[in-house]
């Protein structure tokens, strides 16, 4: 993956993190533009022609997901070509090329009466039962965090359960 890109810094960073995630994914081709991507016992179907994946992240973000990037690596296609044109620096600069005027005071706004009379209430939601979670639910592609001992520096245990003799 080259660093010369026309994408914005955010989109390029997002693409790089997904590129690193896709390194261990196994690709099984279906045809010239479709494939099945396997990782951690989970599979996803990628179609590079329609720019879609069964994980739906590619469909929603318009930036290739890790599965699509693994497919791009397999078919030797640049993953930058699958990014939406709205993530290019050219599109970002063109959105700010015209003047953006402030909205002014709220008193001076012209709002029709049928909109002014509407009452917008907060959405009806219920709090879930039970105590809130302290730890977020990790994604399928994330690895397990192993603890590191602050006394001996090895992984797999902590200072309290360290079996090494005190120096």
Cα of 10 vs its chain's centroid, Å: 11
The predicted pLDDT at position 114 comes to 94
| Longest distance between any two alpha carbons in the chain, whole Å | 79
Q: What is the rounded distance in angstroms from the CA atom of residue 64 to the CA atom of residue 74? A: 14
DSSP-based helix, strand, coil % in the chain, nearest 5? 30, 15, 55
Q: What is the rounded distance in angstroms from the CA atom of residue 69 to the CA atom of residue 80? A: 10
Q: pLDDT category, 1, cuts 50, 70, 90?
A: very low
Q: pLDDT category, 32, cuts 50, 70, 90?
A: confident
In the chain, domain spans: 9-89
Beta bridge partners of 39: 42
- The two three-digit tokens of residue 152, written as one number: 């001996």
Chain segment 96-145, per-residue pLDDT in tens: 899 888 888 988 889 999 999 999 999 999 988 999 888 887 777 677 77
Beta bridge partners of 53: 46
Whether this model's pTM surpasses 0.75: no
Q: What is the rounded distance in angstroms from the CA atom of residue 26 to the CA atom of residue 43? A: 9
Q: pLDDT category, 167, cuts 50, 70, 90?
A: low
- The two three-digit tokens of residue 1, written as one number: 């993956």
The predicted pLDDT at position 54 comes to 93
Chain segment 42-89, per-residue pLDDT in tens: 899 999 999 999 999 999 999 999 999 999 999 999 999 999 999 999
Q: How many helices and strands (H and E) does the chain possess?
A: 5, 4
Question: Mean pLDDT across the stretch 21-25?
Answer: 90
List the beta strands (DSSP E) in 111-161: none
């Amino acid at each position: 993956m080259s660093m010369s890109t026309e994408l914005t810094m955010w989109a390029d960073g997002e693409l790089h993190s997904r590129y690193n995630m896709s390194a261990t994914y196994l690709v099984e081709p279906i045809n010239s533009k479709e494939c099945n991507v396997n990782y951690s016992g989970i599979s996803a179907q990628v179609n590079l022609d329609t720019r879609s994946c069964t994980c739906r992240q590619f469909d929603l973000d318009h930036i290739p997901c890790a599965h699509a990037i693994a497919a791009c690596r397999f078919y030797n296609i640049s993953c930058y070509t699958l990014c939406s044109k709205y993530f290019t620096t050219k599109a970002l600069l063109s959105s700010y090329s015209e003047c953006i005027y402030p909205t002014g005071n709220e008193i001076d706004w012209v709002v029709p009466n049928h909109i002014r009379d509407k009452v917008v209430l907060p959405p009806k939601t219920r709090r879930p039962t039970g105590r809130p979670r302290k730890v977020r639910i990790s994604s399928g592609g994330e690895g397990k965090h192993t603890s590191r001992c602050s006394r001996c520096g090895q992984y797999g245990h902590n200072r309290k359960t360290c079996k090494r003799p005190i120096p």
